[in-house]
Chains A and B, each alone.
Chain A
Amino acid sequence: MRVGLRLLELARERRARAIFVVGTGKNVGKTTALLAIYEAACRSGLRVGLASIGPKPRLRLHPNTVFITARPLLPPSPAVEILNISQLESSSGSLLYARTAHGGLYDLAGPSSASGLRAAVEEIAARSDVVLIDGAIDRISTLASSNGAIVVSCGAAAAKTESEAVCDVATLTARLRVPAFDPHAGILELEGALTATMAAGFIAAREDRQIVVGDSTQIVMNGRSLAEALARLRIRCRRAFEVIATTVCAVAPERSFDPAAFLGAVADATKLPSFDVFAGKEVA
């Protein structure tokens, strides 16, 4: 099982040019999943671009990789091609776009705002076949304007129990996969976010129109509230996202789950192709 290649194939089947890897929390194997896709894309001969929402320490990059980094983080050697100095800023300093001429260790850095990330992804996409983004849920609206796919990573580091981890990833993927609205059916369009209080009101009022938000990041609910709202209301998005897979990381310094059982449970709960990059397994 070549996990990186499978994830890349799933994205390319949907003609996605940007793959956003997001996680249910920290240390859930996002970077491992991203690097697996990166390696597969490089081996496939694609021109790969890398972006990140914040500083991402030292990755070993192959030649001809386009990436965004902060000026102070750029190592002197091996020298890279400086493509453009951006007006965007990051917590590590002003940002620039570069392309590796040789393999080496490089830091990624990126803008913290969604609009900045969107601009960075567009700039990198113009110079590469596929852009891989180490992202965060609250910046995922960047994808709304691009042809992108989402991989959701989950793991033992972000939950106290296996069932909690499974519930978290199921909730997150359910939220991200809220479908696009039907323009021919009745709609109730919301200007801002859909909260649990609002959803409870709509349920009480037996609202049967489509409740439309801009994108699923504007659905501000989790857990039981979200499950109930999705089950009892017709929640829809103006801009839907394409979630293609989940990845699991069963081990963390503080706890670990049984890898096979965890992978199976995640696949079952999300109904998505699920991968364990560490074990080289897939459950479809």
Chain B
Amino acid sequence: MKALDLLDDASADLLGFDWLVKALAPVSPYGARLFSELVPFRPGNEAAAESRARRIAEIADGLHPDRVAAARSLLQQLPDIVGVVARVSMGEMLDDPAFLELRQFCEMLERIDASLAASALVQPIANEATRAVSESLAPGRNEADGFYLADAFDAELAAARAAYAQAQAELNAARGRENESVARELGRDEIAGNEFIVMRSELRGALPAGVRVVREAATYLLCALEYGESCRSALERREAALRTVAALEERARLSLSSIVSEHAAGLGAAAGALGELDVTIGAVRFTQRHRCTAPVVTGEPVLTFEQARFLPLEAELTVAGRRYAPIDLDLRGAAVLTGPNMGGKSLALQTCGFLALCTAFGLPAPAVRARVGLFDQIAWLGTGLQERTGGLLSSFARELLGLQEILARSAPRLLIFVDEFARTTTPHEGKALVVALTERLRERNACALVATHLQGVAAAAGVAHFAVRGLKGIRTPPAARNLHEALEALAASMDYTIADVSDDDVPVADAIALAELLGLDSEFVKAAYRALSQ
């Protein structure tokens, strides 16, 4: 999948793009090639994006996950025949391993089709060409399910091979006789190997006929056994028989290669369809695993969803045995999001971004219901972007330059997540900057969610105001200062619901309560409350 200019790297990282790519990754080389070229749908292509997501969701609904797993397992085993098809279409003769790969490919297609037959939405991939190639290579199947250029491939092959085997047997016999004769004369059981040692002390008289001395030493002779006349003529007969076999085997391979070549287009089409299937099955698996639904893809800059989840975090929490709290939101245009620390504001932004990404790639989204627009650019500004240290720019300056870059691009349909922008300057000027930014985003008709702790931004910028509800009463801090238990207590006390609070524009931070919950000493907490009341 290519994000192209939809996302910059840092935003992609925060919004879980790499996680999504991994979760969708196909398993066959065909799928991998297609997947690497997938690009997001752009505004104007809402119908196509929605149609793809719907089709994936429908297949996911109708196909048991076991069948999906079985299909993926078969896809994973597929040999890559693209190179073979390319070579044969240019007139190259194929070798036996290539025939095995082709036959395995064609047979595997039938099995994949059978495993997915339950879904009417998945079109069979095997075609006339794959069936013809499979049939033509069938005589080559051996008991090991491999391939042998069997006698059945050429009418003259059986006789030629029998002649070769006979010639080889005659040569072996002739050589064996010569070997035995020499061994007997030397008083040995056998002559092993091409060269052998004769100890001078054991030699009675001259060396036997046919034995050539390779090297002489004081105590031994290194010898080789030459071919006698009967051996030489047997060798010539065997070489001639082998030449005949080789010619006939080549003829059989040429004939098979020509059949494959005739069906190259059909094989190529099947390979292409397999790529599509693999990518689709990857998305179906994703949909089933993460309980996704097809979004309504709209031409407006909106993000409206119920029970949405940011899957990378949900996966982490599941591993840790913790519960994930899904969220609802109705974001139309620009809006401000406030709420307590650790109340999930950043996560809400990430959830929005993740849903927008899924929609952009025509995928079902992790929500019970979703209505999402397509965008030209999805950007993130503020905290969370990989903090760089050192250099000439302060973090505030870097934020400003980031904003300048986003605004300069003038993407006609912008989705932007702003997380505590200008938090490192004075609250007074920081607020002014956030208000100005929010106004600008509203004017540009961008879809934007601006998370901040600053008060009065939504009203000043004339946009909707959402807030995380926050702590539902403060629990007693855990007796032992155990961070894990404190986080458990916090999660149990936190209401992550996002409410439209446009009429009640007072952000709640619950910061002091959090300090207490996380184990800061009671004197410190009391002092903080005193300061707050003054």
Would you call A260 and B199 a contact (CB within 8 A)?
yes
Would you call B249 and A1 a contact (CB within 8 A)?
no
Q: What interface size band does chain B fall in?
A: 35 or more
Main secondary structure on B side of the interface with A: mixed
Q: Which B93-117 residues have C-beta < 8 A from chain A?
A: 95-97, 100-101
Would you call A260 and B219 a contact (CB within 8 A)?
yes
**Complex alpha-carbon distance, A84 and B195, angstroms:** 35
Would you call B246 and A276 a contact (CB within 8 A)?
no
**Given A83-B146, A256-B217, A78–B164 Cβ distance below 8 Å?**
yes
Q: Quick check: is B388 within 8 A (CB to CB) of the other chain? A: no
Would you call B188 and A1 a contact (CB within 8 A)?
yes
Q: Quick check: is A145 within 8 A (CB to CB) of the other chain? A: no
**Complex alpha-carbon distance, A260 and B97, angstroms:** 48
**Given A85-B100, A101-B148, A77–B245 Cβ distance below 8 Å?**
yes
Residues on B with beta carbons closer than 8 Å to the beta carbon of A259 = 197, 199, 219-220
Residues on B with beta carbons closer than 8 Å to the beta carbon of A220 = none
**Complex alpha-carbon distance, A260 and B190, angstroms:** 18
Q: Quick check: is B123 within 8 A (CB to CB) of the other chain? A: no
Neighbour of A35 across the interface among B100, B193, B219, CB < 8 A: B193
Q: Which A83-142 residues have C-beta < 8 A from chain B?
A: 83-85, 96, 99, 101-104, 127
Would you call A85 and B79 a contact (CB within 8 A)?
yes
**Nearest CB of chain B from residue A179's CB, rounded to whole Å:** 32
**Complex alpha-carbon distance, A130 and B143, angstroms:** 20
**Nearest opposing residue in chain A for B183, CB measure:** A280
Neighbour of A79 across the interface among B96, B168, B191, CB < 8 A: B96
Would you call A74 and B161 a contact (CB within 8 A)?
no
**Complex alpha-carbon distance, A99 and B245, angstroms:** 17
**Nearest CB of chain B from residue A264's CB, rounded to whole Å:** 13
**Given A35-B193, A74-B96, A81–B164 Cβ distance below 8 Å?**
no
Residues on A with beta carbons closer than 8 Å to the beta carbon of B405 = none
**Nearest CB of chain B from residue A68's CB, rounded to whole Å:** 13
**Nearest CB of chain A from residue B124's CB, rounded to whole Å:** 26
Would you call A278 and B96 a contact (CB within 8 A)?
no
Residues on A with beta carbons closer than 8 Å to the beta carbon of B148 = 79-82, 101
Would you call B97 and A102 a contact (CB within 8 A)?
no
Residues on B with beta carbons closer than 8 Å to the beta carbon of A39 = 192
Q: Quick check: is B138 within 8 A (CB to CB) of the other chain? A: no
**Nearest CB of chain A from residue B168's CB, rounded to whole Å:** 5
Q: Quick check: is B74 within 8 A (CB to CB) of the other chain? A: no
**Complex alpha-carbon distance, A81 and B250, angstroms:** 15
Would you call B95 and A76 a contact (CB within 8 A)?
yes
**Nearest CB of chain B from residue A43's CB, rounded to whole Å:** 10
Q: Which A16-66 residues have C-beta < 8 A from chain B?
A: 32, 35-36, 39, 63
Residues on B with beta carbons closer than 8 Å to the beta carbon of A101 = 148, 161
**Complex alpha-carbon distance, A10 and B44, angstroms:** 78
Q: Quick check: is A251 within 8 A (CB to CB) of the other chain? A: yes
Instruction: Sample 24 A-B pairs with CB under 8 A, ordered by A number.
Output: A1-B190, A32-B193, A74-B96, A76-B95, A76-B253, A78-B249, A81-B142, A81-B146, A82-B96, A82-B146, A83-B146, A96-B97, A101-B148, A102-B164, A102-B245, A103-B165, A103-B172, A127-B144, A250-B220, A251-B217, A258-B219, A259-B197, A278-B195, A279-B197
Interface residues of B (CB under 8 A from A): 79, 95-97, 100-101, 142, 144, 146-149, 161, 164-165, 168, 172, 188-193, 195-199, 215, 217-220, 222, 242, 245-246, 249-250, 253
The 5 A-B pairs at the shortest CB distance, nearest first, are namely A77-B246, A279-B197, A79-B149, A81-B148, A278-B197
Given contact pairs A36-B193, A76-B250, A258-B217, a sample of 17 additional A-B residue pairs in the complex whose CB atoms are under 8 Å apart: A2-B189, A2-B192, A32-B192, A36-B192, A39-B192, A76-B95, A85-B100, A104-B242, A256-B215, A258-B219, A258-B220, A259-B197, A276-B197, A278-B193, A278-B196, A278-B222, A279-B199
